[in-house]
């Protein structure tokens, strides 16, 4: 009996690697192999050894093969979606010079501020890249490396993003895509290419960066014999250009030019992220104005403190994560690792409004509320970047797609629902980044539009929740504390 073609979509995130085995014809997820990553660092530092990512990818693929029972002969393509922004510096042998600086490493905040000023301010940056440098951006991390570890910068024979590093290991060819490249602050969303002035500004030789592949169904090469032996897969299968994790999630949701446009998404994970696929090129200093994987744009805002911060508060209180109650008078801004949106990289957590009657459960509920208000305020900026008025009836009633690990948590869902007043749509697939990567791999083998493919794959199991009356009292209380405290949170 002939075996239906299968593709592998890899989600290489901050915390782990996931390899989803997906039936090309139906989009059915046959198995998801997993393997952990290791993150080190303290006092703002967050680093990982890129070789750990490769080992985890190998382990995840092996676990997925075993779980799915798919014969290796059925696998026809693979693509990687990776955590954005991380700085990978390689020597002439392709070996990492040092551990990668991750997106949530905030040590490069002073360099980001200096870069912003050097080009003439936020508007000058958004006109070129769509984004203003913050600590997360790759160019700011490169500046930090030049200033603090000049030996490592001088040893650089190649500079890569996390997904670039893994794709190059698969295909033996250096390549990136416009979506992930747009998060470096070296790539111009206005011209669709690396910007020579920005490279000069940061002292980076453009030859160290990978070429940018075209958007859409792009096969950049084939799985090399060496990589095939490492992964236990057939040599010669298609390797797609891949993309960043947020871009892949948009593809997995069927958002883009061949699907839905200007529909908001809220991802509750290590970070809290809001985005939408749009034909409007974003140029707001409050947002990251990324390119999408399919040639549209992806206005996005990212908050550092989401599920991990709330889980930390729960652990400090000795409570389970769903033991929370509404915070009452308490406001807790859980900026335990600084914050990205709003741009407060030196901030720490802030607690106010305590009473004798305050309970542990209310303190935990206040942590949820602080995280959710922060990310929903950023959502309003995303809607504006799409040309929508957040207060307009059409914009306010568009379902908010809730994804990520937090979308499985009862109190996360309840808090988003209560503070947004929006209808929620929770997709059936919990592995949208890996699914989007699989769609890119399938497109590389079939020539079809990955967004259209993923849109046709949308399976059963989605949960739709109608809106509830918005809790404006809590919204205004938390927002008011944030606005008053912001100057003192700059750290």
Question: Which residues are catalytic, by number?
Answer: 245
- Output the six-digit token pair for 175: 């390549």
- Output the six-digit token pair for 263: 């529909």
Q: What angle (nearest 5°) sits at the alpha carbon of residue 340, between those of residues 335 and 343? A: 100
Q: Within a 10 A sphere around the Cβ of 391, how many other Cβ atoms?
A: 9
Distant-in-sequence contacts of 203-208, Cβ < 8 A, 24+ apart: 203/146, 204/139, 204/142, 204/159, 208/156, 208/157, 208/158, 208/159
Helix (H) or strand (E) holding 465: strand 463-465
Task: Please give the backbone phi and psi of residue 11, each rounded to the nearest 5 degrees, phi first.
Answer: -105, 105
Which among 280, 287, 337, 273 has a CA at the least distance from the CA of 308? 337
DSSP string, 91-105: -TTS-BSSPEEPTT-
d(CA 16, CA 94): 22
Tokens 């652990």 map to which residue? Answer: 315
Local structure of 440: helix, strand or coil: helix
CB 99 within 8 A of CB 40: yes
Q: Within a 10 A sphere around the Cβ of 384, how many other Cβ atoms?
A: 17
d(CA 372, CA 326): 12
Distance of CA 391 to the CA centre of its chain: 27
Q: Within a 10 A sphere around the Cβ of 389, how many other Cβ atoms?
A: 12
Task: Please give the backbone phi and psi of residue 360, each rounded to the nearest 5 degrees, phi first.
Answer: -60, -40
């Amino acid at each position: 009996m002939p075996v239906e073609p299968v593709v592998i979509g890899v989600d290489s995130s901050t915390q782990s690697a996931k390899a989803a085995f997906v039936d090309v014809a139906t989009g059915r997820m046959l198995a998801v192999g997993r393997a952990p990553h290791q993150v080190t660092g303290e006092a703002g530092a967050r680093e990982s050894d890129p070789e750990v990512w490769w080992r985890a990818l190998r382990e995840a693929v092996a676990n997925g093969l075993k779980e799915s029972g798919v014969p290796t002969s059925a696998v026809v393509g693979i693509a990687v979606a990776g955590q954005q922004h991380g700085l990978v510096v390689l020597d002439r042998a392709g070996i990492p010079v040092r551990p990668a600086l991750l997106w949530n490493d905030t040590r490069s905040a002073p360099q980001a501020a200096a870069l912003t000023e050097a080009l003439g301010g936020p508007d000058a940056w958004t006109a070129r890249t769509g984004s203003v440098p913050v600590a997360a951006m790759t160019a700011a991390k490169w500046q930090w490396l030049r200033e603090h570890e000049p030996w490592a910068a001088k040893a650089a024979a190649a500079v890569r993003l996390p997904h670039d590093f893994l794709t190059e290991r698969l295909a033996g060819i250096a390549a990136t895509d416009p979506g992930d490249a747009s998060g470096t602050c070296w790539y111009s969303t206005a011209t669709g290419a690396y910007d020579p002035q920005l490279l000069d500004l940061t002292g980076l030789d453009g030859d160290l960066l990978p070429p940018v592949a075209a958007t859409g169904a792009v096969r950049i090469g084939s799985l090399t014999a060496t990589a095939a032996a490492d992964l236990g897969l057939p040599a010669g299968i298609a390797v797609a250009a891949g993309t960043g994790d947020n871009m892949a999630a948009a593809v997995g949701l069927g958002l883009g030019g061949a699907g839905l446009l200007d529909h908001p998404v809220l991802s509750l994970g290590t970070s809290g992220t809001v985005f939408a696929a749009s034909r409007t090129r974003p140029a707001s200093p409050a947002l990251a104005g990324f390119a999408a994987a399919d040639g549209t744009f992806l206005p996005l805002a990212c908050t550092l403190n989401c599920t991990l911060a709330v889980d930390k508060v729960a652990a400090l209180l000795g409570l389970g994560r769903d033991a929370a109650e509404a915070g009452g008078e308490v406001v807790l801004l859980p900026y335990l690792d600084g914050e990205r949106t709003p741009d407060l990289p030196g901030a720490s957590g802030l607690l106010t409004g305590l009473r004798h009657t305050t309970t542990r459960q209310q303190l935990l509920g206040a942590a949820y509320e602080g995280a959710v208000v922060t990310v929903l305020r950023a959502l309003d900026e995303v809607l504006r970047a799409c040309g929508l008025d957040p207060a307009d009836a059409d914009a306010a009633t568009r379902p908010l797609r809730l994804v990520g690990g937090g979308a499985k948590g009862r109190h996360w869902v309840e808090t988003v629902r209560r503070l947004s007043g929006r209808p929620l749509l929770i997709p059936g697939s919990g592995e949208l980044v890996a699914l989007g990567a699989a769609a890119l791999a399938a497109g590389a083998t079939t020539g079809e539009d990955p967004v259209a493919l993923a849109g046709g794959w949308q399976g059963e199991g989605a949960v739709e929740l109608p809106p509830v009356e918005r809790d404006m009292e809590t919204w205004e209380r938390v927002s008011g504390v944030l606005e008053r405290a912001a100057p003192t949170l700059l750290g």
